[in-house]
Amino acid sequence: MGKVFITIGLIVVVIGVILTVFPNALSWFGKLPGDIRYESGNTRVYFPIVTMIVVSIVLSLLLNIFRR
pLDDT at 44 over 80: yes
Question: Looking at the structure, do residues 68 and 37 belong to the same domain, yes or no?
Answer: yes
pLDDT > 90? residue 60: yes
The count of structural domains within the chain is: 2
pLDDT of residue 8: 86
- Report residue 10's pLDDT band, with 50, 70 and 90 as the boundaries: very high
| Other Cβ atoms closer than 10 A to 51 | 16
> Cα–Cα distance between 65 and 44 in angstroms, integer?
38
Q: Domain range for residue 51?
A: 31-68
Could you say which DSSP state residue 32 is in? S
- What pLDDT does residue 7 have? 86
Distance of CA 37 to the CA centre of its chain: 18
Do 42 and 11 fall into the same domain? no
